[in-house]
Amino acid sequence: MSDPRRQLIGRRSKAAGETFERWITDACEFYLRNGWAHIEKTPEPFHITSKDERGVVRGYYEKKGQPDYKGILCDGSGIMFEAKHTDSDRINQNAVTDTQWKSLDIYEKFGAHCYVMVSVGLMKFYRVPWDIWKKMKELFGHKFMTEQELEPYRLQEKQCTILILEGVELKDENTENRPGSEAEQN
């Protein structure tokens, strides 16, 4: 028999994760409006089990495959990241699935900016570079990161927007074509 407390904790955690993803999606829209990036949420595969006469669909989300977000920055470079939320004082390395790990490795190999975005309690937000995430055991002596270990990767917020791309280094190419750039203003 299932434990109602665990079910409640699971529902709260799922809701918090969805909220974090909504906030990231809002940030992605902010960057698109300003011509800095086009980053999209990867749709989760949904398996339909039935459809009734009113058109109501029943089904379930299949196991997550790809990382949550991918796109392109204004300099032409790719970006991919996974979003993870925790209400704990640490985030475990195994929060990233094997399939997500492989995708992030491939994108990183081809030169994309790859990260794990972390929410701690929906109050503090971090952008952990993929090469740091992969080396947790080597760097920190364990396969998790504490809030103290996350601190160098802390993201700022401005007017209710998490600045997920603040500090990402861009190549000089193609940045002159984005809306609001000097080239466009002349």
In angstroms, the CA 83 to CA 119 distance is 8
End-to-end CA distance of the chain: 69
Give the number of residues written for the chain.
186
Can you give the pLDDT at residue 184? 43
Can you give the pLDDT at residue 119? 97
Can you give the pLDDT at residue 186? 41
Can you give the pLDDT at residue 34? 96
Domains identified in the chain, total number: 1
pTM: 0.82
- What is the block-wise mean pLDDT of the chain (186 residues), using blocks of 10 residues? 79 90 97 97 81 82 82 97 96 96 98 98 97 98 98 95 94 58 44
Question: Domain range holding 24?
Answer: 4-49+57-177
Can you give the pLDDT at residue 178? 52
Can you give the pLDDT at residue 52? 86
Establish if 183 belongs to a structural domain.
no
Establish if 125 belongs to a structural domain.
yes
Q: What number of other Cβ atoms are within 10 A of residue 100's Cβ?
A: 21
Establish if 115 belongs to a structural domain.
yes
In angstroms, the CA 120 to CA 116 distance is 13
Establish if 182 belongs to a structural domain.
no
The pair phi, psi for residue 93, each rounded to 5°, is -60, -35
List the CATH number of the domain containing 158. 3.40.1350.10
Establish if 171 belongs to a structural domain.
yes
Establish if 107 belongs to a structural domain.
yes
Can you give the pLDDT at residue 180? 53
